[in-house]
Structure 1
Amino acid sequence: MDRTDDQHRLTDLTVHVALSGAFEGAYRSGENTTLLPTDSQKNAVYALAAERGPEPVEEFGLALGRHFLAGNPEVECAQVHLVQHAWNRLGERHSFTAAESARRTATVSATRSGASVCAGIDGLMLLNTTGSEFRGFRRDRYTTLPEASDRILASRVRARWVRRSLDGTDWDDEYATARESMTSAFVDTYSTSLQQTLLVMGERVLTDCPDIARVHLSLSNVHHLPALSLYGLQGVVEEKAQRVYVASAQPHGVIEGTVTRNDTDGMAASDPAWTAAEGWPW
């Protein structure tokens, strides 16, 4: 990630490195002197990304291949496979959404007396490269999380909503408006917690979609950890323009909440499609 200008630049890569060569001794007799640990290969990816930048990916791959060949005479072939994940810019500066990440959903309950619909969206990936903090939280003897005054806020959003009625519904327009409302609220909000952001997103949906009675939001906190400090590489690359982060697969928090209009609480809560959608894993 490049934050040297007001308009941040985000590059998201998955990198696979495969080294082949004269490693027979390691396989046959456990002689490891020719082996470069995979952990060192991983760190080289992070360090070179910070030193020279990860784009264009073809040049970055060439730089990695040459690095592994230069320092390891036993390596006969360094194969680097790179996948660049597209993010679309939101607004002018530091907000993004993963391209083609979201899936539209609908749960319908039909009985002989009528029907109900719970519409929604799954997997909407949103990311702010700045404009978020998390401080002042309660600590106990098991707390290891450091306070953050400037963090990446990334979330995978799952939302469900029900309407006041099914009359006169333009489903496509309402879906597009609800999605844009959640996205713009995420972008516009200086976040002191994901809980605060969730409430703003839900309120924005109800403001922009007057026929929606209730919206439930589930926001998975996708942690992005500073790679150079995480792997002890601060001394390798100092004060570079490129900031390198790892999207962590470690256990993460999911923040959930429901925002409801005061005059529709009973109707929304008893909606069978709403109940079914909330009980299903998708």
Structure 2
Amino acid sequence: MLCPVFFSHCASDNDTTFGMFFRDPNERLVLLPCSVTERFPKHFASDFLNFRAHGHRYVVYVYTGSDNKKRIGGDDLSKFMKDFNLGLGQLVVFVMTGCIAKAFVCSFGAGFIDGGGAGVAQQEEEQGGADEEGHVDEEGIDVEIMGEAPIGIIYSMGVSLDLEEEGRLAMMIDIEQGNIASRFVHRFTSTNIMKKSMKIPNQVCVLLNIGAEGFIGVRLGEGPLSRVAFKTAKDGRMVFNKEWGVFVSTYNLQVGSAAVFTFSRSNAAPFDVVCVVDILSI
């Protein structure tokens, strides 16, 4: 059941993450999700929360109001909100598996979706239309980049994860993979599988610093690298064609399966960038 305050699963079986929305850039105290201090007592010891976000460390204070609800505040909270332009409806996901929590910022671009699982932030907007090859585009994306794009998590339109998928994602984002851009969470459509075309949002691509077209190394989990051709569409998206179809067939990828795409620098010639596809659905 969704919490009417946070539009999130506050009373969740997930013991590794929680999410909270930042709606007001001038807010000095931000309400914590229900019972989160009880769920993660070691991280909230001495009435403060210590966490890292995109290489920066923050220590925010935890206050108990007259209504007995917990709120975070302090100078570091103001700095965190300023650093990531928070307060426009963004979701911040906190991963609580390490000694120090990790925060991942998901920009709130085109509207709210209740999310299921962790309660996700909307980062894409579906549009009809045709791509450069005349094919109908079922996955058009109109992403507004607010300031410098942080490395976080971007979700496809309408994606919601169940608790098992959410748990696998939490474990993956807690593993340092040397990612150089935001992770992309997506549920495969018939366009990806039957039409053998895959498109990566431009907010991911903007941090990759690769050419307008060429080849990228793609692998499933820890498997071998496959060479996949890409080109950049007019809207800035990276489009996988041709060899992506071979990749789909080789690993029998299925419509409806959820996956996370992670990009990192490559030490394996001739690829400058490697894309790791991890399947979240079992």
Same fold (TM over 0.5): no
* TM-score where L is the length of structure 1: 0.24
Give the greater-gyration-radius structure (CA). Answer: 1
Give the number of the structure whose residues are more often helix, by fraction. 1
